[in-house]
Structure 1
């Protein structure tokens, strides 16, 4: 059976990727900082779907932990067929008011860790085939603090890597959801009802993952779940950045 390694797998989109992949019969390597939630999810998936689930505790802001995960990806004896770079967190949008060490950690998790794990994944998969999914955001298409910048990097690199390594059997897809019902906002002390975002703009995590997996299977470099967000991204390409930056001050995606 294929094996998928998912970072940030203890909750939100990461846990949803795990559930949908397990339902398809994939074995899993689940990565997150804490083991309690991972062990609970692993037990659930083993019981429901009869798949093998490995738990790997790692803080991707720590270089030594990133190295351990990269070594697991590179293990030719237990190959990874699908890498899902999902780990991440948000910060307040006021960059100058944030602690710079928090901003550096944010950059390490979203960009450096993803880059290191992609490097390990592509090296291990090239020639035999494999897929990489980078969970980005529609925020990557607009100007909004460092979160937007990190997601923009993921999108741009995914586009290039998909074109470059598809000839060697490796696809790379940036999945770019909009506002999605997950624990992401709760971890920041925010509630969907307090985001100033209309209800119809919120997506369901299961739909985001389902469409992202489908687009990855089709070899697409960018996946934007839902028609309404496809329209928003298209508009962002023609509207002035000053306007989109003003709109983007609302909410977190």
Structure 2
């Protein structure tokens, strides 16, 4: 895949409390796994979230999306609706933008390997440095690879049972981390709590992904935000 056609991967700050509940509510409103059988569809959770969350409600109304009557009343795809709704602001009310120091965004945006996804590369050639468990960990405070995987696959078709988040017209959403997960992963990456495979094809590639992702996570942590991974 050439650089001109590869999707651009973005890591954007989000509200830390909304991604999971809204994703679940959208799924419930569509009957769960996206099957043709809509008899199990239930707008109740989505409407309740709409009524309870003033910030989300105003954000979506500003985009012409009114969910007071249920999911069918908003024409946006699930992926677009989710991305818009969970965007967050600073203390002055300005919409937070993805971290960009002139280099980091581009380095993560189109990684020069495979599908251009930096997390695909990291997951392929890094592991947790725990010899007792073969590089796997059930402890969320030490599971560097588990958190990277969540950021890369939490909203995937494989994990959710449908592709409404991963195949929207706007782009593909891969996964998210809440603020606490952002804090933990930033700490693990910063201290090098991962092991690089001896057959890594790009010299320093894993370290480069870790370095740039750490900067993005640090910015989100400072803003009290979670983070979402999408491409377009």
Which TM-score applies when normalising by structure 2?
0.27
Higher-Rg structure is: 2
More helix by share: 1
TM-score (norm 1): 0.25
- Relative contact order higher in (CA < 8 Å, ≥ 6 apart): 2
Q: Quick check: which one's strand share is greater? A: 1
